[in-house]
Amino acid sequence: MRSNDSTWLLLQSGPGAPALNMALDEALLESVSRLGRPVLRFYGWTEPAATFGYFQKFSGVERATLLRPLIRRPTGGGIVPHDADWTYSLAFPPGHEWHSLKAEESYHRVHKWIQSAFTKLNVTTELALRSQKSAIRNPQSAVGCFVGYEKFDVLWHGKKIAGAAQRRNKLGLLIQGSVQSRCIGISIAPPDWQKAMCNVGRVEFGVAWLDFAPDAALRERAEFLAKQKYSQPGHNHKR
């Protein structure tokens, strides 16, 4: 599972506004070929929010959660509550090993990575062997924890605590993931989880981490997308 290119960029963004968080992830996908290396980004939220998959219908999302604002992601998947989670993204340039994986393979790989990080923190988790849909239809259901799970999601005591969505195109591969920290019955500090993730990357993928800060072009692109796309009803309500 080692990458041919062992140096990856590590971006620790800290808390961000919901629209800007999604905009920066899309800007990373657009820029990762120019950057020439994979990027792992850790980030948080300045306010509670929910993101939802690019292909989901807004009317259904609006009924399913009380969290606001609602932001359409650049990736697929379902509703993700962002009121107490740990959020990350991964961007890979075209031609990179991860970019060539099938969607199920990259999904499995990133969740094995998260599972290994939890093992380092003495938390036992498992990967779901199959999907399980929930019959819950309460508007509160998308607040705080995931509802149901998909194959290869990360489970703790049978409950989904980590999921991800992805987008793969000619620009590269973007994976967006969330760990619902309040659903784990053990207190773990976010920096400890991030450190564990980086340690697993170093040991299992042979990654050498290089601290990274967005350059002016990347910041300007993210700010443009946040203002003109992710904060606009025309984008978020489009389906």
Convert the pLDDT of each residue in 51-89 to its tens digit.
999 999 999 999 999 999 999 999 999 999 998 899 999
* CB half-sphere exposure, 28, CA atoms < 13 A: 32
Residue 144 is predicted with a pLDDT of 52
Overall domain count for the chain:
1
Span 164-187, pLDDT tens digits: 999 999 999 999 999 998 888 778
Instruction: Please give the structure tokens belonging to residue 169.
Output: 């195109």
User: Is 14 a member of any domain?
Assistant: yes
183 carries an active-site annotation = no
HSE at residue 31, side-chain half, CA atoms within 13 A, is 20
Instruction: Give the CATH number, domain containing residue 51.
Output: 3.30.930.10
Alpha helical stretches, state H, the chain: 18-35, 58-64, 97-100, 103-120, 190-204, 216-225, 233-236
Q: What are phi and psi of 180, to 5 degrees?
A: -85, 90
Distance, first Cα to last Cα, the chain: 38
The region that residue 45 occupies, defined by phi over 0 for left and psi between -120 and 50 for alpha, beta otherwise, is beta
Which range marks the domain in which residue 71 is found? Answer: 7-236
Judge whether 32 lies within some domain.
Answer: yes
Tell me if 2 is assigned to some domain: no
Q: What is the mean pLDDT of the chain?
A: 92
User: Is residue 204 domain-resident?
Assistant: yes
Task: Provide the pLDDT for residue 145.
Answer: 64
Q: Are 51 and 217 in contact (CB under 8 A)?
A: no
- The 10s digit of each residue's pLDDT in 110-153 is 999 999 999 999 999 999 998 777 644 444 444 456 778 889 99
How many CA atoms, within 13 angstroms, populate the side-chain half-sphere of residue 89? Answer: 27
Residues in CB range of 76: below 8 A, 6 or more apart: 53, 54, 55, 165, 166, 167
d(CA 67, CA 83): 8
Annotated catalytic residue, options 35, 123, 127, 145: 145
1 within some domain = no
Query: DSSP labels for 133-153?
Result: ------GGGGSSS--SB-TT-
This prediction has a pTM of: 0.93
CB 162 within 8 A of CB 179: yes
